[in-house]
Structure 1
Amino acid sequence: MQFSEWSLLLLLMKLANYTAIAALAGTLLIRFISHFHLNGNQHTAFLYFLKHWQIKCLMVGLIAAVLQTPIEAGAIAESGFMGMLDRPMLEIVWYSVIGEQARLRIVSFLVALMVASLWNVKAENNNAEKFNFALMLIIAALIAYSFSITGHSANENALVKSILTFHLAALACWIGALWPLLKSCTLLIKTDVEKIMHHFGQMAIIIVVVLLVSGLALLQQYLHSFSALFTSTYGQLILLKLLLVSAMLLLGAWHKLFLVPNINRQRYFETLKGSIAVEMVIALFVLITTSVFTTLVGPPI
């Protein structure tokens, strides 16, 4: 694995894209839970937070999408940072699958920003806001699908691309929900926090099942032998990701089975906030690890 300034830029770009889709998916999940289980002024303040956080992360995603073509062109040209402005190389990249991916993301993030800005948090029960949520859900699915256009799955069939999309969407929902869950501990009363945590725990069971099934299917697709998990750099990074996700799973189980049922006791409430913060740090390393093996490392041949 060779590392250069271009590798770092490509890695940061991929991390920004992962962060944006995670924030979008996570806020949509918490918005869905809040719609059915919360009400009142504090609920409105929490929804305002979700809206503003979503817009900020979508802007990060849009910037990364705009920069994708010039960074990829510069990395291919290998002629210094002026290679990012090389018109012939820019045209080659723009009309390749990389450009196709960039165009889909740019349009998706632009539309998502408009839809997020039009979200009226005080009117969550009317048809316009339900349409707003449904449209944002479609956009999130398109952004998640964009990751299958390039990279390891670029030449795979529609089934493999669909599995990768579901895997990424499930992981994004889980990771992206952590910051809103932590903020709920300061913006909502404890009874509402308990409701959100409880219903997120129920949704997390579905998320974990999707992650496990899709993850095993992808492992079978990209690793043709069990030993490759230990002998290849790609396999070792997969193992690291599995270890990190397992740590998140253990923390999630601790929250669901012990901390949330005792949330009315201040000591456990503070412990819950600290534990979610730790889970967020682990989630960041999951995104970094995923960015590394999808950007710099390929599956063993």
Structure 2
Amino acid sequence: MIMGGVLAALEPVQIASILVKAGMYISVLLAAGSVINLWLLSELDTDASRRLRRLAAWSAVTGILFSALNIPVRAAFFYGGVEGVFDATMLQIAVFSPLGYSVMVDTLGLAAIATVVLNRNWLRPIAYLGVALVAISFTMRGHATNDPRWALSTLLVMHIIAASFWIGGFFPLYDMAGRGNAAAVRTVERFGKAALVMVGLLITAGVVILVILAGDPIAVLTQPWGQFLALKLVVVSVLIGLAGLNKLRLTPALADSGDGTPLRKSIQWEMAAFIMILLITATFTSTVAPDHVG
């Protein structure tokens, strides 16, 4: 079945799963990434830091809600229909499944992240621990539980941290670019330097995970899973292109003119591309699985 056939055959439970997963991915990664960027972007002014802390907290609360919704959706999968949402036995099975344990760890991590809104020095290690727990929670379900588990888990943690950093940087960069001052330029430049490392980790981890799960990356394109992945990689390429434009053209322009409007518009397009990537990811992880090729 090709990718189009998968989409045409979507059932209500799968559609619900896609929406819940997409909401979870966006909110959870945004919460974790906001904390990472609060730590990294020391040039943020008081107002920008306060807004980013609030974004982290609200994203964490939203992430807890979306994470919890995974339980009734999984119960519906087990039951074979939406009636499973109200079936106590199926709900219990979902809670005590790898997904359920993952949601528990994820919720604990998000609750820890939410403490960052209080802006207390002694709470910062708790927020950082929350970021680690969020990343670890992704290794407790899905294909990360396959062999070699330690390798897949390590790679996935790298992938999640890098993705969180990237999505968590959009808001503070957009916020500071509107200032057009020296602090804004230093903030964007610092993010750009860190992004070189993080994007490298993101791509490297993703490619190695693909090879482990699917074997031959070319042959896997014959599967719906591989076709969804190829579509995701196309959007990732657009995202990397926008990031390159920001670093090579728009950041120097901000430093020269103090006008952050072009950079802010590019960041908006980056946001849209990242949301599309997460929606594609939610779609193929809810509908198809990779077969090892080669």
Question: If the length of structure 2 is used for normalisation, what is the TM-score?
Answer: 0.89
- 1:6 aligned onto 2:13: yes
CA contact (8 A) 1:21 1:140 kept: no
After superposition, where does 1:69-80 map in structure 2 within 5 Å?
69-80=71-82
Q: Deviations over 1:199-254 (max 9, x none)?
A: 00000011011112212211111122233242111111221222111111111111
Pick from 145, 159, 167 the counterpart of residue 175 of structure 1.
167
Query: Equivalent residue for 1:15?
Result: 22
Q: Deviations over 1:17-37 (max 9, x none)?
A: 2112321232123212332x3
CA contact (8 A) 1:223 1:300 kept: yes
What is the percentage of aligned positions where both structures have the same residue?
A: 24
Give, in whole Å, the separation in 2 of the partners of 1:212 and 1:34: 23
Question: If the length of structure 1 is used for normalisation, what is the TM-score?
Answer: 0.87
Question: Which residue type is aligned with residue 169 of structure 1?
Answer: I
After superposition, where does 1:83-102 map in structure 2 within 5 Å?
83-102=84-103
Specify the SS of the correspondent of 2:289. Answer: coil
Give, in whole Å, the separation in 2 of the partners of 1:266 and 1:280: 24
CA contact (8 A) 2:16 2:73 kept: yes
1:189 is displaced (CA, Å) by: 4.4
Task: Structure 1 unaligned segments of length 5 or more: list them.
Answer: 121-128
Task: Structure 2 unaligned segments of length 5 or more: list them.
Answer: 1-5
CA contact (8 A) 2:30 2:59 kept: yes
- 1:184 aligned onto 2:176: yes
Question: Which residue type is aligned with residue 210 of structure 2?
Answer: L
1:266 is displaced (CA, Å) by: 5.2
Q: Deviations over 1:229-288 (max 9, x none)?
A: 421111112212221111111111111111111214559522111111111111111111
CA contact (8 A) 2:177 2:261 kept: no
Q: Give the direction of change, closer, same or farther, for the CA distance of 1:261–1:12 in structure 2 (3 Å limit).
A: same
Give, in whole Å, the separation in 1 of the partners of 2:37 and 2:261: 21
- 1:244 aligned onto 2:232: no
Query: Equivalent residue for 2:129?
Result: 138
Q: Give the direction of change, closer, same or farther, for the CA distance of 1:219–1:155 in structure 2 (3 Å limit).
A: closer
- 1:34 aligned onto 2:41: yes
Query: Equivalent residue for 1:273?
Result: 264
Specify the SS of the correspondent of 2:230. Answer: helix
CA contact (8 A) 1:170 1:211 kept: yes
1:183 is displaced (CA, Å) by: 2.1
CA contact (8 A) 2:35 2:116 kept: no
Deviates more, 1:230-239 or 1:21-30: 21-30
Specify the SS of the correspondent of 1:225. Answer: coil
Query: Equivalent residue for 2:116?
Result: 116
Q: Deviations over 1:34-58 (max 9, x none)?
A: 32x35xxxx1111110011111111
Give, in whole Å, the separation in 1 of the partners of 2:217 and 2:95: 38
Question: Which residue type is aligned with residue 64 of structure 1?
Answer: F
- How many residues were matched structurally? 284
- 1:232 aligned onto 2:194: no
CA contact (8 A) 1:69 1:93 kept: yes
Give, in whole Å, the separation in 2 of the partners of 1:283 and 1:235: 19
- 1:166 aligned onto 2:158: yes
Give, in whole Å, the separation in 2 of the partners of 1:267 and 1:197: 13
1:166 is displaced (CA, Å) by: 0.8
Question: Which residue type is aligned with residue 276 of structure 1?
Answer: I
Give, in whole Å, the separation in 1 of the partners of 2:260 and 2:68: 42
Q: Give the direction of change, closer, same or farther, for the CA distance of 1:295–1:165 in structure 2 (3 Å limit).
A: farther
1:79 is displaced (CA, Å) by: 4.3
Q: Give the direction of change, closer, same or farther, for the CA distance of 1:44–1:85 in structure 2 (3 Å limit).
A: same
1:180 is displaced (CA, Å) by: 2.4
Give, in whole Å, the separation in 2 of the partners of 1:271 and 1:201: 16
Aligned-pair RMSD on alpha carbons?
1.9
Pick from 65, 69, 81 the counterpart of residue 63 of structure 1.
65
Specify the SS of the correspondent of 2:41. Answer: helix
Specify the SS of the correspondent of 1:298. Answer: coil
